[in-house]
Amino acid sequence: MSREPGCKIPIGLVSALGEAGISAEHVLASAGLPSRLLDTPGRYVPPSDYFALWNSIGAVSGDPGIGIRLATLIKPELTEPLFLAVLSAGTLAEAIAVVSRFKRLLEPEELLVVRDAAAEQLVVTYRWPDGEERVPQCLVDAELAFLVEIGRRGTGQPDLSPKQIFLRASTLEVNGRHQGFFRCAIRLGEARNAIAFAIEDSGRPFATRNPELLNALLPHLQANTPAPPDAGMARVRSVIAERVRGRRPEADEVARELAMSTRAMQRLLKDSGTSFRRVLDEVRNEHARGYLVSTTFSDGEVSFLLGFEDPNSFYRAFRAWNGMSPNEFRRQGAIGR
């Protein structure tokens, strides 16, 4: 089970292009890409094709700020694993960590997150290990604007702005879209593309956090999850299920959410004949089976949502839990429908 083959075209890009008055067909033709490339939502393409797509978007639109505009137009779809995880984050910092992890596991580019205590800021660097100079500026703009946009939507504060932006570009467009959107100092000719948020802003809670999102997406889970033996166990499972969204929850944070000490929670689990690790595995397995049967998420995307360090770890765990691979389980589920 390997890393996804290239870059994922954002789900919702076609509708965002339409809202911006840009013909997707014209973009693909100008880029020399297949005319039906965007027919499949969330398709993965080689970096060269991805760069060609974004270069063409910039050229066809004639708008040097089109990356920023598209970032504001893309709707948060619950059928997109990244959005599902981001909207479940507790704070802006958690949401950025989710995006960083998604990139690390499933895409060739990276988001490097560093907490600079001295400057009281969280610095996020957008980096391509192979060929920084080839990355279209409108793609850089879209990626950095996306982080600001999820911060504004998640916190419900449309005025939330970063402290500063660092761009490798030496010049920007004259229409002022960058300044108007980011509303902060923009430093040009830098050695990196990066964005810095105030530590205080990075800790702002997300109003979008909603434990019901998962059940809304996957009614299969609720219908096929065995009832826990008692109310205490039900609460533990519920908190774990809420937090298994793009990360692996730890025992101490689950205990805090339950207003219990970690020792008290572990004692509760032991009295019920189980352990935190076992319950976590059970919840992960239930969600994995639900995703595989009820969605078109790739195995790599499922591993991301369940908080695994890499797709191979998920593959091994799923086989140990179910005696078959994720693909075999998916095929079996399709036959049973």
Q: Is the pLDDT of residue 335 over 80?
A: no
* Tens-place pLDDT, residues 147-184: 999 999 989 999 999 999 999 999 887 667 899 999 99
> Which residue type occupies 81?
P
CATH code of domain 7-202: 3.90.1520.10
> Which residue type occupies 137?
Q
Q: What is the C-alpha to C-alpha distance for residues 50 and 34, in angstroms, rounded to an integer?
A: 12
Q: Do domains 7-202 and 213-336 have the same CATH topology?
A: no
pLDDT of amino acid 322: 95
Asked if residue 111 lies in contact with residue 103, where contact means CB atoms within 8 angstroms, the answer is: yes
Q: Report residue 264 as tokens.
A: 């008290």
pLDDT of amino acid 294: 84
pLDDT of amino acid 232: 75
Q: Is the pLDDT of residue 212 over 70?
A: no
Q: Is the pLDDT of residue 221 over 60?
A: no
The partner residues of 251 in beta bridges, in order of sequence, read: none
Q: Mark 123-159 as b/e (b = at least 16 C-beta within 10 Å).
A: bbbbebeeeeeebbbbbbbbbbbbbbbbbbbbbeeee
Of 63-72, 93-102, 170-179, 224-233, least confident by mean pLDDT is 224-233
Asked if residue 209 lies in contact with residue 144, where contact means CB atoms within 8 angstroms, the answer is: no
Q: Is the pLDDT of residue 320 over 90?
A: yes
Give mean pLDDT, residues 290-299.
87
Q: Is the pLDDT of residue 83 over 50?
A: yes
Report the relative pairing of strands 185-187 and 164-166 from DSSP bridges. parallel
Q: Is the pLDDT of residue 93 over 80?
A: yes
Q: What is the C-alpha to C-alpha distance for residues 288 and 327, in angstroms, rounded to an integer?
A: 11
Give mean pLDDT, residues 107-126.
93
pLDDT of amino acid 177: 87
pLDDT of amino acid 208: 64
Q: Is the pLDDT of residue 126 over 90?
A: yes
* Tens-place pLDDT, residues 222-262: 444 444 456 778 888 888 888 888 888 899 989 888 888 89
Class of CATH domain 213-336: mainly alpha
The percentage of residues in the chain with a pLDDT greater than 90, rounded to a whole number, is 55
Better-scored residue on pLDDT, 43 or 278: 278
Beta-carbon contacts of 107 under 8 Å, excluding residues fewer than 6 positions away, are 4, 6, 7, 8
CA-based R_g, the chain, Å: 21
Q: What is the C-alpha to C-alpha distance for residues 331 and 137, in angstroms, rounded to an integer?
A: 41
Q: Where are the domains of the chain?
A: 7-202, 213-336
Asked if residue 154 lies in contact with residue 206, where contact means CB atoms within 8 angstroms, the answer is: yes
> Which residue type occupies 238?
S
Q: Is the pLDDT of residue 18 over 80?
A: yes
Q: Is the pLDDT of residue 265 over 80?
A: yes
Give mean pLDDT, residues 284-295.
90
Q: pLDDT band at residue 25, thresholds of 50, 70 and 90?
A: very high
Enumerate the H helices of the chain as residue ranges. 13-19, 24-31, 47-61, 66-73, 81-86, 92-106, 137-155, 177-182, 199-202, 213-217, 219-224, 231-243, 251-257, 262-271, 276-294, 299-305, 311-322, 326-336
Better-scored residue on pLDDT, 252 or 210: 252
